[in-house]
Amino acid sequence: MKKLVNILMFIAIVPLLILSGCGGRDTSLSRCPDIVLILIDTIRADHLSVNGYYRETTPVLDSLASSGTICTSVQGQSSWSLPAMATIMTGLSQRSHGASCTNGHFYGIDPTFPTIPHLIKHRAGYQTAAFFNDIFMNEDCGFHHGFDHFDCQYYLRNETLRNAEETVDNYLEWYDANRDSTKPLFSAVHFFDPHLPYCPPHPWDTLYSDPKADPLFNKFWGSINDVQDLNQGLVEMDSTQLEIMVGLYDSELAFTDSQIGRLISELMARGTLENTVFIIVGDHGEEFLEHGGFGHGYTLYREILNVPLIISGRCIPVGTIDRVVAQVDILPTVLGLVGLDIPIWADGRNILNPDFERTARYIHSSNLIGTIPDLAAVRIGNRVVIGNPQEVSPVMYDLRNDPNEINPLVPGRETVEQLFYYWSLPPKGNPPIVSFGNKIERKLQYLGYFR
């Protein structure tokens, strides 16, 4: 009952919290808005209740979407966190920034690349703060550049990862002690909870599944060995077991959603909500056997690349963007919110610009985890082509008539040439090799980043 009360509470209060802001109307607030970039790991757009999912997983995100702008067709730029998060922060496609796993080596963000926090700190006078929960978003990978305060926690030794509630707690502790009220604030807050293993805290763990109903597929399942055994056919997952895992995943989403609601209510209590814009975006999705596999990092299908993107708050128009958008658009959109021009090197567009939807474009995605040969995808409108130069016949899918990508088609020459052209692009900078110690490598292996 308690968990249902929590959900109903946020359903009731969040619309009031968001609508207390500008909501698309003129405002007397003169300075740039505070911006909270909420990064949700491993989140599928089709598991948000606002997108028609059969469970009420995300009442808070639903309210943000209803009072702001929601993008219904997002093409993520990679299949796993490092390259996708690097794209969000740099406004560059994966091949442009080069942060990846290639030939057994991990590469981070070139330290000379301007990032969102760097640009708005130095050009618009923002205070900047980050709260991340992934080893691939740490200093070694280059994600600290431009942040006045940088807090990245991840698995190390026998420690457990900080969950969404603890992340919000730490953010609010910093906020109350260090917030500079003379400057606008850019915050980047990352929630790792929907990533394997799916082990939401009580009472969320029993919201949609019994976390111990099956001796194998339960809240403890999800190491790289577990996923490999399943994907290689050494063990099988039946429909009942799949439903248990999906239920635990959905519970993680619901828990994360509730903590986003708590963050919003706490900012309201501090009197800053009226001048705040929230941008919610995922890095990648998760496979649930749609194409025979489980997890992420191994394919470029829609269950991996179709992530949520919601913008809500001060003076954000209420509406829906149906044209395809991308994670490369986050940086230009943030710069637009604070009145800065888009750099000529950026690969994206300002989603909120009235001219945004007038012309179509190719949107690119690439990089799997340690897979040889690697894959790339190019999307234009409702068509997507997936392949690489080592494959004789890249495949195309018509997403309008085949949204689940079941029936591969033969792509046209122009799209194939665009795919191979993208494949041939070198990085625009010099992404550095990232080295990890033995203890950290064991943790990475558990999470699925080494085989």
pLDDT band at 313 (very low <50, low <70, confident <90, very high): very high
Is-contact 175 270, C-beta < 8 A? yes
What angle, 0 to 180 degrees and rounded to 10, lies between the N-to-C axes of helices 330-337 and 116-124?
A: 20
- 157 has pLDDT over 50: no
Ranked by mean pLDDT, the top range of 149-158, 259-268, 355-364 is 259-268
Residues 6+ apart with CB under 8 A from 123: 340
Instruction: Give the whole-angstrom CA distance, residue 64 versus residue 279.
Output: 9
Instruction: Give the whole-angstrom CA distance, residue 317 versus residue 25.
Output: 8
- 427 has pLDDT over 90: yes
**What are the Cα distances from residue 192, in Å, to 48, 99, 167, 196, 270?**
16, 19, 10, 9, 26
Residue with the bigger pLDDT between 212 and 10: it is 212
Predicted TM-score (pTM) of the model is 0.92
pLDDT tens digit sequence for 365-418 = 999 987 778 899 999 999 999 998 887 689 999 999 999 999 999 999 999 999
Is-contact 39 188, C-beta < 8 A? yes
Supply 405's token pair. Answer: 């990508």
DSSP 256-309: HHHHHHHHHHHHHHTT-GGGEEEEEEES---EESTTS-EESSS--SHHHH---E
Which homologous superfamily is 2-23+32-360+438-447 in? Alkaline Phosphatase, subunit A (3.40.720.10)
Is-contact 119 340, C-beta < 8 A? yes
**Residues paired with residue 106 on neighbouring β-strands, in sequence order:** 101, 434
| Size (the chain), residues | 451
pLDDT tens digit sequence for 91-138 = 999 999 999 988 888 999 999 999 999 999 999 999 999 999 999 999
pLDDT reported for residue 438: 52
Instruction: Give the whole-angstrom CA distance, residue 379 versus residue 305.
Output: 11
434 closest CA partner among 141, 208, 62, 37:
141
What is the overall mean pLDDT for the chain?
A: 89
Domain ranges of the chain: 2-23+32-360+438-447
pLDDT tens digit sequence for 274-309 = 999 999 999 999 999 999 999 999 999 999 999 999
Q: What 3-state class would DSSP assign to 16?
A: helix
pLDDT tens digit sequence for 195-234 = 999 999 999 999 999 988 899 999 999 988 899 999 999 9
In percent, how much of the chain has pLDDT > 70? 88
pLDDT tens digit sequence for 63-81 = 999 999 999 999 999 999 9
pLDDT reported for residue 354: 83
Instruction: Give the whole-angstrom CA distance, residue 235 versus residue 243.
Output: 16
In percent, how much of the chain has pLDDT > 90? 79
Q: Is 57 exposed, middle or buried (0-12, 13-18, 19+ CB in 10 A)?
A: buried
440 closest CA partner among 64, 152, 57, 195:
152
- 20 has pLDDT over 50: no
- 21 has pLDDT over 80: no
pLDDT reported for residue 391: 77
- 16 has pLDDT over 90: no
153 closest CA partner among 167, 133, 171, 139:
133
pLDDT reported for residue 191: 98
